[in-house]
Amino acid sequence: MGVDLSDIVEDCSKEISLNNIKGKKVAIDAYNAIYQFLAAIRQADGTPLMDKQGRSTSHLSGIFYRTINLVENGIIPIYVFDGKPPEEKTQEIQRRIKIKEEAEEKYNQAKEQGEIKSMKKYAQMSSRLTNNIATESKELLINMGIPIVNAPSEGEAEAAYLSQKDYAWASASQDYDSLLFGARRLIRNLTMTGKRKLPNKDQYVDIVPEIIEFDSLLHKLGITREQLIDIGILIGTDYNPEGIKGIGPKTALKIIKKYGDIEKAIGKEIDEKEILFDYKQIRQLFLNPKVIDPKTSLELKEPDEEKIKRILIDCHDFSEERVVNAVGRLQKAIKSSKNLERQTGLDRWF
DNA sequence: CGACTACA
DNA sequence: TGTAGTCGG
Contact A241/A177 with Cβ under 8 angstroms? no
Q: Which of A11, A16, A15 is nearest to A221 (CA)?
A: A11
- The reported pLDDT for the residue numbered A347 is 54
- The reported pLDDT for the residue numbered A43 is 97
Q: What is the rounded average pLDDT of the residues A220-231?
A: 98
Distance (Å, whole) CA A249 – CA A274: 17
Is residue A175 a known part of a binding site?
A: yes
Nearest protein residue to B3's C1' (by CA)? A322
Give the closest nucleotide to A65 (alpha carbon vs C1'): B2
Distance A204 CA to C3 C1' (A): 13
Q: What is the mean pLDDT of chain A?
A: 95
Q: What is the DSSP string of A127-193?
A: ----HHHHHHHHHHHHHHT--EEE-SS-HHHHHHHHHHTTS-SEEE-SSSHHHHTT-SEEEE---S-
Over the stretch A177-224, which tens digit does the pLDDT of each residue have? 999 999 999 999 999 877 665 545 556 678 899 999 999 999 999 999
Give the closest nucleotide to A42 (alpha carbon vs C1'): B1
- The reported pLDDT for the residue numbered A70 is 98
- List all residues 6 or more positions away from A10 whose beta carbon is below 8 Å from its beta carbon: none
Of residues A344 and A289, more confidence is placed in A289
Measured CA distances, A245 to A99, A235, A241, A276 (Å): 21, 9, 11, 10
Distance A339 CA to C3 C1' (A): 34
Distance A34 CA to C5 C1' (A): 25
Give the closest nucleotide to A40 (alpha carbon vs C1'): B1
Chain C, protein-covered positions (CB within 7 A): 4, 8-9
Over the stretch A301-326, which tens digit does the pLDDT of each residue have? 999 999 999 999 999 999 999 999 99
Residues contacting strand C at CB < 7 A?
A 41-43, 47-51, 57, 60-61, 195, 316-319, 322-323
Return the percentage of chain A with pLDDT > 70, whole number: 95
Does the domain formed by A223-288 have CATH 1.10.10.10?
no
Over the stretch A1-47, which tens digit does the pLDDT of each residue have? 799 999 999 999 999 999 999 999 999 999 999 999 999 999 999 99
Q: How many of the other CB atoms lie within 10 Å of CB of A251?
A: 15
Distance (Å, whole) CA A46 – CA A110: 11
Is residue A274 a known part of a binding site?
A: no
- The reported pLDDT for the residue numbered A204 is 67
Residues forming beta bridges with residue A29, ordered by sequence position: A80
- The reported pLDDT for the residue numbered A128 is 97
Contact A168/A27 with Cβ under 8 angstroms? yes
Distance A323 CA to B5 C1' (A): 18
Measured CA distances, A107 to A9, A45, A81, A128, A198 (Å): 34, 10, 29, 14, 21
In our burial notation (b when 16+ CB lie closer than 10 A, e otherwise), range A285-295 reads bbeebebeebe
Distance (Å, whole) CA A349 – CA A153: 39
Distance (Å, whole) CA A332 – CA A74: 11
Contact A216/A13 with Cβ under 8 angstroms? no
Distance A294 CA to C4 C1' (A): 45
Is residue A15 a known part of a binding site?
A: no
**Domains A1-221 and A223-288 equal at CATH topology level:** no
Distance (Å, whole) CA A47 – CA A50: 8
Q: Is the CB of A276 under 7 A from strand B?
A: no
What band does A345 get if pLDDT is binned at 50, 70 and 90?
low
Over the stretch A249-287, which tens digit does the pLDDT of each residue have? 999 999 999 999 999 999 999 999 999 999 999 999 999
Contact A223/A12 with Cβ under 8 angstroms? no
Distance (Å, whole) CA A334 – CA A283: 40
Question: Residue A143 carries which side chain, given as an amino acid letter?
Answer: N
Domain A1-221 class? alpha beta
Give the closest nucleotide to A195 (alpha carbon vs C1'): C3
Domain boundaries, chain A: 1-221, 223-288
Q: What is the DSSP string of A183-241?
A: -SEEEE---S--EEEPTTSS-EEE---EEEEHHHHHHHHT--HHHHHHHHHHH--TTST
Q: Is the CB of A99 under 7 A from strand B?
A: no
Over the stretch A110-120, which tens digit does the pLDDT of each residue have? 999 999 999 99
Q: How many of the other CB atoms lie within 10 Å of CB of A304?
A: 15
- The reported pLDDT for the residue numbered A197 is 56
- List all residues 6 or more positions away from A249 whose beta carbon is below 8 Å from its beta carbon: A4, A5, A6, A7, A8, A231, A235
CA–chain centroid gap for A165, Å, is 19
Q: How many of the other CB atoms lie within 10 Å of CB of A263?
A: 12
Rg (CA), chain A: 21
- The reported pLDDT for the residue numbered A349 is 46
